[in-house]
Amino acid sequence: MTLNNVVLDNQYWIVHANILVNFLEEEIFFELINLPPSVKSGAYVTNKEDEMRIKIALTDNRRMALFFTTKENSRLTIGKIGGVSLRAAIQMTIDNPELDGLLLHSDQEVWRAVTKDGLRYLLQVRGQT
């Protein structure tokens, strides 16, 4: 089962949301809002001085970091796509005081949101906090 399938499968998600621990090393994707001016196309490895922002989704009055399970998602702009492991995305979300959680969008019109408490729990289950 892929991470995308987990997001799509409503019944499985309701019963086993902690299945995400099995995908902590899987790459998920986001749209970069402000790339450094020197980046034209191709791969770019960030350094500590870079400040890159990702999109935020509002759901139930919560600010969620918006990530996608595939880089082929039509909501992503080609040339402005970043990738990071689910584990890193979770940690970045937890560390950002302006965010309430993380939203994972499938390759279809299905998404799942996880609050910071849920994200902390996932890392605890895996012994990473």
Residue position matching structure tokens 């090393």: 25
What pLDDT, on the 0 to 100 scale, is given for residue 38?
Answer: 63
In a domain, 48, yes or no: no
Global pTM reads 0.79
In a domain, 47, yes or no: no
Residue-by-residue pLDDT tens, the chain, 129 positions: 788 887 777 655 544 557 788 899 999 998 877 666 666 655 556 665 656 677 889 988 999 999 999 888 778 776 678 889 999 999 999 999 999 999 999 888 888 889 999 899 888 876 654
In a domain, 42, yes or no: no
In a domain, 109, yes or no: yes
Calculate helix-pair angle for 116-125, 86-95, nearest 10 degrees.
130
What pLDDT, on the 0 to 100 scale, is given for residue 109?
Answer: 84
Residues 93, 114, 111, 89, CA torsion sign: positive
In a domain, 111, yes or no: yes
Look up the CATH number of the domain holding residue 118.
Answer: 3.40.1350
- Range of the structural domain that residue 120 is part of: 3-34+53-125
In a domain, 121, yes or no: yes
In a domain, 57, yes or no: yes
What pLDDT, on the 0 to 100 scale, is given for residue 90?
Answer: 94
In a domain, 43, yes or no: no
Domain count, the chain: 1
CA gap 23, 120 in Å, rounded: 15
In 3D space, the residue among 45, 27, 28 whose CA is nearest the CA of residue 36 turns out to be 45
In 3D space, the residue among 93, 126, 120, 112 whose CA is nearest the CA of residue 7 turns out to be 112
What pLDDT, on the 0 to 100 scale, is given for residue 129?
Answer: 46
C-alpha distances in angstroms, 66 versus 48, 72, 94, 113, 114?
A: 22, 15, 13, 9, 11
